[in-house]
Amino acid sequence: MGKASRRARQAERRQGSTVSTAAPFVARPFEGVPGETDIVAMREIVPAATARLRLRRDAAPLVEAAGDGEVPEFVTLATVLPLAWPGLHRGDGEYLIGLQSGSSTGDHSRDAAHVLLELMRTPEGQPARPAGIAERSTPRLQELVDLDAPFEVEMHETFDFWIAPGRELDAEAQASLEQTNASIVPTRRLSSIESAYWCRVGERTHLRWLLPQNEDEATNALARLVAAGDVSLGPDTRLLGAFRACGLLAPVWDLDPALEADDYEDAAAAVARRFAEALAVDTPLNADERRARSGLLGRQLTLR
């Protein structure tokens, strides 16, 4: 066998090894995890929030990563951590994963689990910086958390949740925290429907609603509402369109800036009821509904 042939075969083996170990792309990475829609919202649109996930304390990868230590009962998902750290083992023993720290593969769930396993090995008060990237063999969150546990988002007006109770920052760190707090976009989570977030950006206000249904089905149902003129949230509001994030559809409304989040609870609930009715229709879209669907797709953005 010639040298060129040997080099070609070696290159093929290396390429095959890379393909076999790389984490595969997952279009809907958090499907099956408690609070999927809120997790996606925390990753994409919410500035300051936390939520706890109950861990499977018998999950072999967690037990192995914890070593001689005990697997904690909970891990806390956070929107963002200081300096965009992937994870933080806070000084009081709290374990935090930063959802907005970026992603190293095409599977955000596997990336978050990669951080979680590193957190089990991270001393208190230190950030977790996993070595390398998640691979095909890295477990996903779905394998490490209790899939039947309740999930509740806690909204924050500041990033003070970074700091363990009773701890104090030095002057430089305190100044940095205050500067970060000042940049937070005011955001509220509606209580009348799941995973709908009101926010005020400058002089404008918006409502963004993360839908849990299959993306195509959700788009069709939204198109039916648009064609029927049933998508309004009231005077001085309009549907701007929808974006896609982690395999979910999220319609976005422009709202009356004179009103607050609470003022839209009833209107949002009414739209949610109409959406559920449209979702249950199984007949093909008519001409007006197809045009509405094309309009939605034409204005659609995808957030990775």
- Give the pLDDT confidence score for residue 304 in this predicted structure: 57
Amino acid present at 135: E
Task: Please compute the mean of the pLDDT values over residues 213-219 and round it to a whole number.
Answer: 96
272 has pLDDT over 70: yes
189 has pLDDT over 90: yes
Task: Please compute the mean of the pLDDT values over residues 260-281 and round it to a whole number.
Answer: 98
User: 3-class SS at 195?
Assistant: coil
> How many residues appear in the chain?
304
Q: Lowest-pLDDT range, 140-144, 241-245, 295-299?
A: 295-299
Answer for the pair 118, 129: CB distance below 8 angstroms, yes or no.
Answer: yes
Q: pLDDT tens digits for 33-53?
A: 999 999 999 999 999 999 999
Rounded Cα distance between 20 and 247, Å, is: 24
Sheet containing strand 248-255, edge to edge, reads 187-189, 196-201, 204-209, 248-255, 238-245, 301-303
13 has pLDDT over 70: no
- Give the pLDDT confidence score for residue 168 in this predicted structure: 81
Residue keyed to tokens 């809120």: 38
| Of the candidates 169, 159, 206, 205, the residue with the CA atom closest to the CA atom of residue 47 | 159
User: 3-class SS at 51?
Assistant: strand
Q: pLDDT tens digits for 240-268?
A: 999 999 999 999 999 999 999 999 999 99
202-223 burial string, b = 16+ CB within 10 Å, else e?
eeebbbbbbbebeeeebbbbbb
Percent of the chain with pLDDT strictly greater than 70: 93
Rounded Cα distance between 43 and 108, Å, is: 10
- Give the pLDDT confidence score for residue 20 in this predicted structure: 56
- Give the pLDDT confidence score for residue 174 in this predicted structure: 84
CB atoms closer than 10 angstroms to residue 59: 18
Enumerate the β-bridge partners of residue 51: 77, 153
Answer for the pair 227, 288: CB distance below 8 angstroms, yes or no.
Answer: yes
Confidence bin at 172 (pLDDT 50/70/90): confident
Enumerate the β-bridge partners of residue 95: 89
Confidence bin at 22 (pLDDT 50/70/90): confident
- Is the Cα dihedral 135, 136, 138, 141 positive or negative? positive
Percent of the chain with pLDDT strictly greater than 90: 80
Confidence bin at 167 (pLDDT 50/70/90): confident
DSSP for 246-289, please give it. TTEEEEEEEE-TTS-GGGGHHHHHHHHHHHHHHHH--SPP-HHH
Parallel/antiparallel/unpaired status of strands 74-78 and 87-89: unpaired
- Give the pLDDT confidence score for residue 286 in this predicted structure: 98
Q: pLDDT tens digits for 60-83?
A: 999 999 999 999 999 999 999 988
Task: Please compute the mean of the pLDDT values over residues 183-212 and round it to a whole number.
Answer: 97
Greatest distance between any 2 Cα atoms in the chain: 78
Parallel/antiparallel/unpaired status of strands 301-303 and 238-245: parallel
12 has pLDDT over 50: no
Q: What is the mean pLDDT of the chain?
A: 92
